[in-house]
Structure 1
Amino acid sequence: MLVFQLMFVSLFLLQTTSSGLGRHSLMVLISHISGSTVFPEFNMVLMLDDIQVGYYDSTMDRAMRVGGGGEKEGELDVGQDGTSVLQVIIFNMRERLNWAKQNFNLTGVVVYQRLVGCEVLEGQPVFSMFRGATNGQDFESMMYNMTHFTVAGSNSWEMWLDVVKRTVIQTLYSNFYLPFCVRSLQTLLDREKNLVMRRVRPRVRVLTKQVVGGARVTCLATDFYPRHINLTLLRDGRPVDEDELTGGSVLPNGNGLYQVRKTLTVDDEELRRKHSYTCAASHLSLDNRMEVSWRAEFSRSHRVPVVSVPVSVLLLVLLLMVLWWRRRRARSDGVAMETQEEEAEDQDRAAAADPATCESPE
């Protein structure tokens, strides 16, 4: 069980280097739960940049990779070094959780979480780190950024590292963890390059919605990858102040891609000025900036309809009733006219059949 658990954490330290292109990271979030719960003792999620590439929980007793590009899930193999690193981390997390329970009088279910990982920029290591928390409170952190090694703990908690321990850990990170991280990142990037290095062009639109007293103009970019994008809403060619806009957070689209929107609320007075609004997007998948424009036209079409949907339905029903009544009346008039004509014909026949009615008076 420990072997597979720690295989995950070994991957934690990797930061993706991908043929020296761009900035990449590999992070692992590990949760260790002590106490009686329905959850596994250890649970890990492995993220390459923003893509989940693996997971583990101690009830399975094995680490699994998340298939990409049509691949099926399979067991995650990180090699002997990865297994060793994971074992060390799992052992250390158990030790740290027990220390916290004893020193802070924690009882019942206690959760210790750790985020571990590192980054590589243009193929060169940037930093490696871990951050730990107990029951949602920061507990300890460590960062090694090639030139500085820092260890910190919560202000209310006693630091547990003396000078000797810090020196040992710094040496371990610089001579083992960091090189291992770079090698592992390269391996994962080579395997997942079709996902991590893909470029998906955004679909950019300007959406308008009528509201009381004006309208909302929304600049929307959706279905793009990677997540980094520069989205700007322009009014007559000039950027709208960010303080006037709502939104702007890049959100997952649910399909491995992303979306972002920025919305401006304009009143009737601004609509009367008939400004031109442009949604401009810059993205790695685009050679040039993509722009989509819309010009306001203050008219009934840009005002909030007075008739709501239920009233519209009612009017439609009334219209149909009027048409039906007119048709029925027209049909009734036609039947009455035919009846009068038939009565006149009957009278003519009766007059022709009675000679007395044909004699002229003398």
Structure 2
Amino acid sequence: KMRLFLFLLLCHFSSPVKHSFSGIFTASTGTSNLPEVVAVALVNNIEASYCDSKIEKAIPKQDWMENLRDGEPEYWKEYAQDCAVNRLFFEEQFHILKRRLNQTTSVHILQKVIGCEWDDKTETSHGYQNYGFDGEDFLVFDLKTLTWIATKPQAVITKHYWDRQKTTNDLWKYYLTQVCVDWLKKHLKYGRISLMRTDLPSVSLLQKTPSSQVTCHATGFYPDRADLFWRKDGEELHEDVDKGEILPNHDGTFQMSVDLNISSIAAEDWKKYDCVFQMSDVKDDIITKLDKSVIRTNQKKPLDMTIPIISTIVISVILLGGYIFTKKRKKV
């Protein structure tokens, strides 16, 4: 279930805009090892704060968030209250939807992604609010019409009900276009050194067996506005490749990989292929040639028996010499 959470967490952060602020809410039932509601705030896809229905308070997850809490206590108070209020509101929505869908037993998960994206160069912004139920898209807020889009037939009743909540939808518009962007800018102010940095990755070629696909893996890069792909003769490949999603590392950086099927590539043609890592606002690409000598594999190499054989011979000679020497001493 947490894989689903991570998938939704990432679904809004591969766009070309510069910065983003999101709240990720997850409510679950039938999962005894998880709080009923978990709320996470992310800035540029980095976890900034956390709260859930058990601890009932907001916890800063970055050093710069602690500076924000200490430097602007009134804002942090509002921030923490907003987390608590939205958590309770979301929890109520969850129980209403379960009853409405007649889903009162077993394991169920409701998720909401709400936030905004802002480009500090063009000063343009975009807001979004989406719901998912049991791993599938459910409702999407249309910021232009201030109505809800039902992506499942089961969501139509809720869509019509929420469409009639004109005042609430106006408040959502204000939050997504004004409050969210202001909060994002405030977070950027305190986290600028960390959030505005550029970290280049280490890139490796990986392979399980000599006949399996070759994986180009880039890890440790930041921010996540990056691309990784295979080329042949300087042209990007779209066939015989399998591209993965950008995933977060535990240290706040990112990783991604792209696989190349080499089954139909002749040995003499390997030199025509390379893997390219590109990052937004970074001039030079990182290019890694398809070369057997640099591929890392977990396949065990055949043991070199030369040294063990030589060692055995030497030990045998020493033991034999000792035996002969002992015999001669006894005769003397």
| TM-score where L is the length of structure 2 | 0.70
Q: Displacement, 1:48?
A: 1.2
- Tell me how far apart the structure 1 counterparts of residues 289 and 90 of structure 2 sit (CA, whole Å): 55
Q: Displacement, 1:46?
A: 1.1
- Tell me how far apart the structure 1 counterparts of residues 265 and 55 of structure 2 sit (CA, whole Å): 63
Is the aligned partner of 1:281 residue 2:277?
A: yes
| Contact 1:200/1:224 (<8 A) preserved | yes
- Tell me how far apart the structure 1 counterparts of residues 103 and 23 of structure 2 sit (CA, whole Å): 25
1:186 alignment partner in structure 2: 185
| Contact 1:201/1:286 (<8 A) preserved | no
Is the aligned partner of 1:120 residue 2:111?
A: no
* Secondary structure of 2:284's aligned partner: coil
1:223 alignment partner in structure 2: 220
| Contact 1:199/1:285 (<8 A) preserved | no
**Greater CA drift, 284-293 or 51-60:** 284-293
Q: Displacement, 1:186?
A: 1.0
2:167 alignment partner in structure 1: 168
2:302 alignment partner in structure 1: 308
Gaps of 5+ in 1: 1-14, 298-304, 344-362
Relative distance call for 1:294 and 1:69 in structure 2 (3 A) is: farther
| Contact 1:274/1:295 (<8 A) preserved | yes
Relative distance call for 1:210 and 1:201 in structure 2 (3 A) is: closer
Letter aligned with residue 262 of structure 1: V
| Contact 2:69/2:76 (<8 A) preserved | no
Gaps of 5+ in 2: 1-11, 294-298
| Contact 1:67/1:73 (<8 A) preserved | no
Relative distance call for 1:170 and 1:280 in structure 2 (3 A) is: same
1:57 alignment partner in structure 2: 52
Q: 1:318 aligns with which of 279, 285, 309?
A: 309
Is the aligned partner of 1:42 residue 2:42?
A: no
**Greater CA drift, 38-47 or 327-336:** 327-336
- Tell me how far apart the structure 1 counterparts of residues 156 and 215 of structure 2 sit (CA, whole Å): 51
- Tell me how far apart the structure 1 counterparts of residues 280 and 231 of structure 2 sit (CA, whole Å): 21
- Tell me how far apart the structure 1 counterparts of residues 67 and 191 of structure 2 sit (CA, whole Å): 13
Q: Displacement, 1:132?
A: 4.9
| Contact 1:43/1:57 (<8 A) preserved | yes
Q: Displacement, 1:56?
A: 0.6
Relative distance call for 1:331 and 1:250 in structure 2 (3 A) is: same
- Tell me how far apart the structure 2 counterparts of residues 218 and 163 of structure 1 sit (CA, whole Å): 46
Q: State the structure with more CA Rg.
A: 1
TM-superposition CA deviations, 1:248-279 (whole Å, max 9, x none): 43333332222333343546982245635433
Relative distance call for 1:261 and 1:329 in structure 2 (3 A) is: same
- Tell me how far apart the structure 2 counterparts of residues 268 and 255 of structure 1 sit (CA, whole Å): 38
| TM-score where L is the length of structure 1 | 0.65
Taking only aligned residues, the RMSD between alpha carbons, in angstroms, comes to 4.4
Letter aligned with residue 41 of structure 2: L
TM-superposition CA deviations, 1:33-89 (whole Å, max 9, x none): 568956444321111121000001232231111123696896886467656755664
Letter aligned with residue 145 of structure 2: H
Relative distance call for 1:73 and 1:41 in structure 2 (3 A) is: farther
| Contact 1:29/1:115 (<8 A) preserved | yes
* Secondary structure of 1:226's aligned partner: coil
- Tell me how far apart the structure 2 counterparts of residues 198 and 56 of structure 1 sit (CA, whole Å): 27
1:291 alignment partner in structure 2: 287
- Tell me how far apart the structure 2 counterparts of residues 173 and 229 of structure 1 sit (CA, whole Å): 31
1:198 alignment partner in structure 2: 197
Relative distance call for 1:244 and 1:71 in structure 2 (3 A) is: same
Q: Displacement, 1:158?
A: 4.3
Q: Displacement, 1:168?
A: 2.6
- Kindly tell me the number of residue pairs found equivalent between the two proteins: 306
Q: Displacement, 1:218?
A: 4.4
Taking the TM superposition and a 5 Å limit, the aligned residue runs for 1:331-346 are: none
- The share of aligned pairs that are identical, in percent, is 18
| Contact 1:204/1:279 (<8 A) preserved | no
TM-superposition CA deviations, 1:116-140 (whole Å, max 9, x none): 222223432212324253x556543
- Tell me how far apart the structure 2 counterparts of residues 323 and 296 of structure 1 sit (CA, whole Å): 37
| Contact 2:146/2:170 (<8 A) preserved | no
Relative distance call for 1:210 and 1:318 in structure 2 (3 A) is: farther
| Contact 2:20/2:117 (<8 A) preserved | yes
1:251 alignment partner in structure 2: 247
